[in-house]
């Protein structure tokens, strides 16, 4: 999947005109790529369109129009676009109550390394987490992590052949597995492997 370049982005004016329709398209696209693991943990699988939407929104909110500043946004978000042999996801831990969130994030230090995907017939693939910067301390984990799941060629072939895909967490005291993920999501993830 090709990375985004400056010419792939709309100017602030163009985005203002196209935003409602583009936003609707991006939100529908993102729904397909969302995999809830339980009531508190969700994987949002990223791709070129989800990152274009993120960048366009950042440029809009921050009123960024300088070429160098736009390039900084591209440099920040392009690493979240799959490379053809992997899936990239934003992993979110959500606890609405502030005290519960504080307590749970302190209990779950390192959980980001225990998130996995599994293609039927293959071993689980554990996430490579936060390659840009560490989001956990020894006292607490972050509520947002960026993950990469690197697949073997055999796994990729199995995905393209339609083998079921599972996702989960294998952390002491926090173990969950979902799947097979919906067919529409599996098809979207298979397209990331081209």
Residue 1: inside a domain, yes or no?
no
Residue 161: inside a domain, yes or no?
yes
Q: What is the pLDDT of residue 131?
A: 74
Tell me the pLDDT tens digit for each residue of 100-135: 999 999 999 999 999 999 999 999 999 999 876 666
User: How much of the chain exceeds pLDDT 70, in percent?
Assistant: 96
Burial class (CB in 10 A: 0-12, 13-18, 19+), 56: buried
| Other beta carbons within 10 Å of 151 | 22
Tell me the pLDDT tens digit for each residue of 135-186: 667 788 889 999 999 999 999 999 999 999 999 999 999 999 999 999 999 9
Domains: count for the chain: 1
Residue 85: inside a domain, yes or no?
yes
pTM above 0.85, yes or no: yes
Residue 64: inside a domain, yes or no?
yes
Using CA atoms of 157, 160, 164, 167 in order, give the dihedral in degrees to the nearest 10. Answer: 80
Assess whether pLDDT exceeds 80 at residue 56: yes
Domain with 44, as residue range(s), is 6-191
Cα torsion 116, 122, 123, 127: sign: negative
Q: What is the pLDDT of residue 47?
A: 95
Q: What is the pLDDT of residue 66?
A: 87
Residue 59: inside a domain, yes or no?
yes
């Amino acid at each position: 999947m090709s990375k985004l370049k400056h010419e792939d982005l709309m100017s602030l004016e163009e985005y203002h005109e196209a935003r409602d329709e583009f936003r609707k398209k991006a939100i529908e696209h993102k729904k397909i790529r969302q995999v809830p693991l339980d009531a508190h943990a969700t994987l949002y699988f990223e791709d070129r369109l989800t990152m274009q939407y993120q960048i366009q929104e950042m440029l809009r909110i921050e009123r960024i129009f300088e070429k160098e500043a736009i390039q900084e946004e591209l440099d920040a978000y392009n690493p979240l676009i799959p490379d053809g042999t992997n899936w990239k996801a934003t992993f979110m831990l959500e606890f609405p109550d502030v005290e519960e969130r504080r307590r749970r994030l302190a209990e779950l230090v390192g959980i980001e390394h225990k998130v996995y995907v599994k293609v039927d017939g293959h071993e689980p693939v554990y996430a490579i987490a936060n390659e840009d910067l560490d989001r956990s301390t020894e006292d607490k984990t972050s509520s947002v992590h960026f993950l990469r799941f690197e697949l073997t060629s055999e796994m990729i072939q199995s995905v393209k052949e339609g083998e079921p895909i599972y996702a989960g967490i294998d952390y002491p005291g926090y173990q969950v597995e979902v799947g097979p993920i919906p067919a529409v999501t599996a098809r979207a993830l298979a397209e990331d492997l081209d």
